[in-house]
Chain A
Amino acid sequence: MKKVVLELKVNNHSGVMSHITGLFSRRGFNLEGILCGPEKNSSFSRIYLLVNNNDTLHQIQSQLAKLYDVLEIRICKGNDFSVFFEIDKLFKS
């Protein structure tokens, strides 16, 4: 199944992750992978969501856009997504 990454710019506070993952579970959207980290010198974070590129992609985007803490959404196509599957290599020791 073709995949795509959604890059989100979000407000950096403790509830944001729950809002986003909660959205996926209650709408029945599949979330294949998630990476998140704070932006340097700002009150924002970036979240990278690995999702399937299918019919539900449009709904996923429009529902995410409704979340108050989600400020920007960008679709990243054609990038190398292997990082999602090889994160364990970064933390061997």
Chain B
Amino acid sequence: MKINGAELTIRLLEKQGIRIISGIPGGTNLPLYDALSKSTIRHILARHEQGAGFIAQGLSRSTGKPAVCFATSGPGATNLVTAIADAQMDSIPIIAITGQIPSQLIGTDAFQEVDIYGITIPITKHNFLIKKVEELIDVIPEAFSISVSGRPGPVLIDIPKDIQTAEIEISENFFEKIEKTVTAKTLALNTDFTAAASMINNAAKPLIIAGGGIIKSNTSDLLNELSVKNSIPVALTLMGLGSYSPDSNLYLGMPGMHGSRHTNYILQEADLIIALGIRFDDRLTGKSDSFCKNAKIIHIDIDKSELNKIKTSDLFIEGNLNESLQHLLEYIEQNERKEWIKHIENIKHEYPELTAKDQFSPYNIISIINNLTDSNAIITTDVGQHQMWTAQYYKFRKPGTLLTSGGLGTMGFGLPAAIGASLGKPDCQILCITGDGSFLMNIQELALLKELNLNVKVILFKNNSLGLVRQQQELFYDKNYFASRFEFNPEFHKIASAFGIESFNLAESDDIIHDLKYFLNLKTPAFIEIPIAQSQNVFPIVPPGKSNYEMIGGGYHEKSCS
């Protein structure tokens, strides 16, 4: 039978198990949309392609499965770029399929032509420009395979319009014979687990730093088992939050630039760091030379190129955390480590978490929201002070409950990611914690939120500024506030109302706990604006380029560390 490239593409996507595609149609992907309209796949019409890209990310991050977004050529494709780069930085499997002008016009500066293949080379795991319709048969499954295997990442497929309309002859049972891409198991290649276990068993002050890799490999149970068996305390990077219980006495907190004071001090004392699924990002390490410089390092990661990229490891194990941790556990001894644990308790006691009396302090607001929210709820954030306060004060108890733009730090991530997460997990409560700077960047997706009527609540911290920029100017640029405060800022709750969304302004509340409780219990889209003093800062902070023990702020005397 004959089908065209567009129909072939859609059918192949169906075979991959894709049930939802976010995107925006345009001139050069009309054939794809025509085919999509006849498919069982549900289309989500974003209002900006960046929104579509982040919706795909929210879908992927919440389900652990690859997600697809569509855009037309030219400006549609370039609007996807930020979301693709963001997926690359946080290793999220999304497949972006862009329409392209007809093949024979490529290179002629045609209407809405852009070399999206060339543009996305540095920000994708791999990309494809289709030259013949037959190529789709291999490329679509291959794109999924590349996207999900090993260290996941975004893949782009650029399909010229003439390829979409080109016909191809296939057998009647062609699609029955096609199987979904199965991720190849990555076996731990370096089987030196006895050496690693020996280092761990013999260490006096070991600790684990776990990150995004634990979440991607679903290994928080194994992480817990390792930690408890040998009494190894655990610190979590931003991307790892939720993969270890914050209620455990072995939990250290989040280290790094905005990490807890006690966490950064404890890390300096370790004699062995077990790095699980982390990449030693500069937000974590501060000045990398002095990061845990007294400790040996065991680094387990699925990506071989992470070996010695930032910190030199004493032992690197390339492999899937699932197999690696299982093998490792066989050789790990029971150990109560009473002295080390006591020492850590003392440091935690000496440098407790910051608290605030003002009910509108962000610490308090976030703690109240935390207490009123189920641990299965998924929180997305935008980027900035509110993001750091959320990371510091919201206790994430399950993996995959914090969706945040870590590596690229993209403002505008929060709302579309929340929409995607809600589509991926329709029975979950979804909260988007955002700031007034970030929220305006993809505010148009409120229309989509209303249209879909999802259980998504938006909580906006309003301080009339680009908070983290203002803070850095205060601390490091001599209070030279420039371009960091909004001279005009709209009444966001009125904007949300205009989008048909039930909206609240906490500034008018007589009982904030009561009103937040009411707000959080709603099952339909809702929005709340919360006033925050502009002078609020995120503490502690490690000044850019300094070592983690050189934190400032938070009301403590700086401790000198060697």
Q: Which residues of A contact B (CB under 8 A)?
A: 15, 18-19, 22, 26, 58-59, 62-63, 65-69
| List of A residues within 8 angstroms of B122 by Cβ | 22, 26
* Nearest CB of A to B138, in Å: 13
B307 touches A62 (CB 8 A): yes
B121 touches A22 (CB 8 A): yes
B155: nearest chain-A partner, CB-CB: A68
| List of A residues within 8 angstroms of B307 by Cβ | 58, 62
A68 to B145, CA, bound (A): 11
**Binary interface profile of B, 67-92, with partner A (CB < 8 Å = 1, else 0)?**
00000000000000000000000000
* Nearest CB of B to A53, in Å: 16
Tell me whether B546 is interfacial, beta carbon within 8 Å: no
Q: How large is the interface on B (under 10, 10 to 19, 20 to 34, 35 or more residues)?
A: 10 to 19
B121 touches A18 (CB 8 A): yes
* Nearest CB of B to A54, in Å: 14
* Nearest CB of B to A72, in Å: 16
* Nearest CB of B to A76, in Å: 21
A68 touches B304 (CB 8 A): no
| List of A residues within 8 angstroms of B309 by Cβ | 59
Cβ-Cβ contact count across A and B, 8 Å cutoff:
28
B305 touches A59 (CB 8 A): yes
| List of B residues within 8 angstroms of A22 by Cβ | 121-122
8 shortest A-B CB distances, which residue pairs? A62-B305, A68-B126, A22-B121, A26-B122, A63-B305, A62-B304, A22-B122, A18-B121
Would you call the interface of chain A mostly helix, strand, loop, or mixed? Answer: helix
* Nearest CB of B to A43, in Å: 13
B318: nearest chain-A partner, CB-CB: A62
**Binary interface profile of B, 292-310, with partner A (CB < 8 Å = 1, else 0)?**
0000000000011101110
A19 to B119, CA, bound (A): 11
| List of B residues within 8 angstroms of A59 by Cβ | 305, 308-309
B305 touches A65 (CB 8 A): yes
| List of A residues within 8 angstroms of B305 by Cβ | 59, 62-63, 65-66
A15 to B139, CA, bound (A): 15
Most-contacted residue by chain B among A22, A26, A59, A68 (CB, 10 A)? A68
A62 to B118, CA, bound (A): 22
* Nearest CB of A to B279, in Å: 13
| List of A residues within 8 angstroms of B129 by Cβ | 15
| List of A residues within 8 angstroms of B251 by Cβ | none
Tell me whether B146 is interfacial, beta carbon within 8 Å: yes
A-B contact pairs, 5 of them (CB 8 A): A18-B118, A59-B305, A65-B304, A68-B126, A69-B126
B117, B146, B303, B308: the one within 8 Å of A15 (CB): B117
Beyond contacts A19-B121, A22-B121: 16 other A-B pairs, Cβ-Cβ < 8 A, are A15-B121, A15-B129, A18-B118, A58-B307, A58-B308, A59-B305, A59-B309, A62-B304, A62-B305, A62-B307, A65-B305, A66-B305, A67-B126, A68-B125, A68-B126, A69-B126
| List of A residues within 8 angstroms of B118 by Cβ | 18
B128: nearest chain-A partner, CB-CB: A15
A68 to B308, CA, bound (A): 22
Most-contacted residue by chain A among B118, B121, B304 (CB, 10 A)? B121
B151: nearest chain-A partner, CB-CB: A66
* Nearest CB of B to A27, in Å: 10
A13: nearest chain-B partner, CB-CB: B131
A9 to B240, CA, bound (A): 37
* Nearest CB of A to B397, in Å: 34
Q: In chain B, residues 106-147, which have Cβ atoms closer than 8 Å to a Cβ of chain A?
A: 117-118, 121-122, 125-127, 129, 146
Most-contacted residue by chain B among A18, A58, A62 (CB, 10 A)? A62
A58 to B306, CA, bound (A): 11
A36 to B305, CA, bound (A): 25
B129: nearest chain-A partner, CB-CB: A15
B142: nearest chain-A partner, CB-CB: A68
| List of B residues within 8 angstroms of A68 by Cβ | 125-126, 146
A60 to B173, CA, bound (A): 45
A18 to B129, CA, bound (A): 13
| List of A residues within 8 angstroms of B125 by Cβ | 68
A20: nearest chain-B partner, CB-CB: B121
A45 to B303, CA, bound (A): 26
| List of A residues within 8 angstroms of B303 by Cβ | 66
| List of B residues within 8 angstroms of A26 by Cβ | 122
* Nearest CB of B to A67, in Å: 8
* Nearest CB of A to B529, in Å: 40
| List of A residues within 8 angstroms of B146 by Cβ | 68
A69 to B117, CA, bound (A): 15
A18 to B127, CA, bound (A): 12
| List of B residues within 8 angstroms of A63 by Cβ | 305
A15 to B122, CA, bound (A): 12
B127: nearest chain-A partner, CB-CB: A15
* Nearest CB of A to B461, in Å: 34
| List of A residues within 8 angstroms of B304 by Cβ | 62, 65
A65 to B305, CA, bound (A): 9
* Nearest CB of A to B323, in Å: 20
* Nearest CB of B to A11, in Å: 11
**Binary interface profile of B, 302-326, with partner A (CB < 8 Å = 1, else 0)?**
0111011100000000000000000
* Nearest CB of A to B386, in Å: 31
Most-contacted residue by chain A among B125, B305, B308 (CB, 10 A)? B305
A63 to B121, CA, bound (A): 14
| List of A residues within 8 angstroms of B117 by Cβ | 15
A69 to B124, CA, bound (A): 13
| List of B residues within 8 angstroms of A66 by Cβ | 303, 305
A23: nearest chain-B partner, CB-CB: B122
A59 to B304, CA, bound (A): 10
* Nearest CB of A to B330, in Å: 28
| List of A residues within 8 angstroms of B127 by Cβ | 15
